[in-house]
Amino acid sequence: MTLQLPKPSGGLLTAYASHAGDAIAVQLAGTADSETRSELDAYIKQLHGESVRLAVSMVEIDMRQLEFMNSSCFKIFVAWLAQLRDLEAAKQYRILIRSNPNLLWQRRSLAALSCFAVDLVTIET
Amino acid sequence: MIPAELLERFRVSSLERVGRVETAWNRLVHVREDGDHGLVQQMLREVHTLKGDASVAGARDVLQLCQKLEDLLEAVHEPPLEISDDLDVVVTMAIQFVGMLLRVRQGAMTGLDLEGFVRQVDDVLRETRTLPIAQRRLKRTTLREGTEAPVDRLSEATRQHLATAATTVFLEYLGARGATSRSRLRGVWSTLRDELARLHAAELAPLFERHVASALELAHKLGKRITIDLALADVRVEPRVAEAVDIAVLHLIRNAIDHGIELPEARRRAGKPEQGIVRVAVAQRDAAVEISVSDDGRGVDFAAIRKLALANHLIDPARADDEAALLELVYAPGFSTKSNVTETSGRGVGLDAVKSAIARVGGQVRIATTYRGTAITVSVPSVVRYLHAYQFLAPGGTVSLAVSARWSPAIEHAPGPDAIDPLQAIQLLSSSRQSSVEAPDTSRALALRLRWGFLEATLRAATEPRLVTAERICPTPDDHAIEVVTVDGQETLLLRPEHVADLALARGRTMAGAARST
């Protein structure tokens, strides 16, 4: 099965996804704010759908090149975690978020985000 | 026992209330208009009612988080009404968190880390309160911090240059013929690897041990009697982190002796041994290293902090008895309860200097105090760096290779002519008769078609890839084709396929040129 994820077309936010073995890796770069919110929302929903369809055990989100994410976009991630928690245990996958320690917002906000599902989310610096 | 019907009513009405708070917050953040202060007051009322309902329903977690949400909204309410991105994110997530607590109330609570979340809220609150108003209103304050170059005993570029040289030695070792050559090259590689590891990761224990003598000397000078107790685990951090921690711990030890530990007479009067204890403990906590400096002195003088805070309008008089709020002030720049700057440890508690030095290297500082003493804990990232990778054997089946898991591999059982032999590309399998790596039977090899975004490369392989965790022991720059990592303790060559393909291309041109000239 191949991964079917479109690239967000917004110039301010880019995402590259790849699927190998039982993992999906996504690289996010640019800025996630009100301009790109709806694209990110659609993308994350599709990512969740694909992750379940492909029965992966890990989704890796590389945010090291993501310069900024506003509160609206964080809500998308919170909603994603809620969806993931609602899945039956056998269908759940883990999320690994690679973060950039030089970006203060990532250190604080991603740590807060992980508190929504500490059993499923790992933040790597 | 609260009836289930009542609990359900609490849950439903509270979720509606959370919805109203969220709507009001969005309006406040995105539609700035007159009457914003009224909007904050409305939210405060909703949260306050929710808190009361949670208390009645016995929902202690909801109550605790509502208390924090109130604190956040009160921080927003202070004129001028400005909301930083950090504050916006944390309030938004706090509202979401309350909603999630209410939704899962009847189900499993597994995975929700309320205490961890509250700590994050406290961090934002602390910074919001100590930031000058002018800085609070800065949007995008969360973008890349300061541009100061990290203080490093060896620059990153030099370290990477050395790692590249060490990698070349490792390749020479792999390709060497003869036991003597192999043994000699193995020895050189091991020395370089260990030296690089030392430069990459500094031990903390030796740094702290050298502070003992100066601490005892300081205590003697001040007429105090102390014991320094070190409980040091073998932990390592990046050199720049070690440098920041070193300075911070020196400052904290001196602070503990100067401000914490009492004179022998005062200790005797307080029923304590004349000799005070300053304890420095270091421990690994998951991906962080925690260093605590504690003393059995008098603890933080809340009365003095309160007096100074009120005199300088640093705290709302209504909160002047809140010790947690008072304690937060010790992180404020220049805050000091000492009337005179002391020669030994500068201005008062001086935690602002420690906190900013630690924050610059990605760490945090916490303080806990009672009348029996004070403990300050510094938490910094530890040095271990792992990455997910696909490991496979090179054609011939003797050399272990890997590529980062950001590449997506597809297996080809009939490799085409574009498939690169990685060992040839990195010149490990050279035409040279000196190489000990035998040329494989390529007719039986697989190929891995690797894709990462728009990049693509096809590498010949002897086995299918498996997902592993690799440890970076000798990090080379991202534009270098090779790096030595370990997988399950075994050295493996991590390839960067985009650069391996470049090498193969360059090698093809060189060989074609050589053929023409002969």
Q: Which helix (H) or strand (E) is B296 found in, with range?
A: none
Task: Look at the block and give the residue holding tokens 């990778």.
Answer: B389
Single pTM value for the model: 0.44
Chain A residues lying within 8 Å of B452, measured CB to CB: 16, 18
How far apart (Å, rounded) are the C-alpha atoms in residues B447 and B416? Answer: 8
Q: What pLDDT is attached to residue B81?
A: 52
pLDDT digits (tens, 9 = 90+) for A65-119: 888 899 999 999 999 999 998 899 899 999 999 998 888 888 889 999 999 999 9
Chain A residues inside the 8 Å CB shell of B120: 108, 111-112, 115
Q: Which of B90, B111, B390 sits opposite A20 (nearest CB)?
A: B390
Partners of B276 in the beta sheet? B226
Q: List the beta bridge partners of residue B378.
A: B291, B365
Least confident of A5-14, A92-101, B372-381: A5-14
CB-based contact B120 A16, cutoff 8 Å: no
Interchain contact, B120 vs A105, CB within 8 Å: no
Q: Answer yes or no: do A71 and B405 touch at CB < 8 A.
A: no
Residue B141's pLDDT band, with cuts at 50, 70 and 90, is very low
Residues 32-51 of A with CB under 8 A from B: 34
Q: Which positions ≥6 away from B397 have C-beta within 8 Å?
A: B440, B462, B463
| CA distances to A40, A44, A48, B16, B42 from B54, in Å | 34, 33, 33, 14, 18
- Please report the pLDDT score of residue B139 as a whole number: 38
Whether the predicted pLDDT of A10 surpasses 70: no
More confident residue, B34 or B403: B403
Average pLDDT taken over every residue of chain B: 80
CA distance B29 to B47: 18
This model of the complex carries an ipTM of 0.92
Q: So what's the pLDDT on residue B339?
A: 43
Average pLDDT for residues B286-293, to the nearest whole number?
Answer: 88
Query: At B109, is the pLDDT very low, low, confident or very high (cuts 50, 70, 90)?
Result: low
Pair of tokens at residue B474: 């000798």
Please indicate if any CB of chain A lies within 8 Å of the CB of B516.
Answer: no
Comparing CB atoms, the residue among B104, B117, B362 nearest residue A101 is B362
Q: What is the pLDDT of residues B378-414, one digit of tens each?
A: 999 887 667 899 999 998 888 999 999 999 999 998 8
A105 contacts B86? CB cut-off 8 A:
yes
Q: Where are the alpha helices (DSSP H) in B176-322?
A: 179-200, 205-209, 211-222, 239-255, 264-269, 302-311
Q: What is the pLDDT of residues B192-205, one digit of tens each?
A: 888 887 777 778 88
Question: To the nearest whole number, what is the mean pLDDT of chain A?
Answer: 87
Cα B391 to Cα B173, B252, B294, B416, distances in angstroms: 20, 46, 46, 21
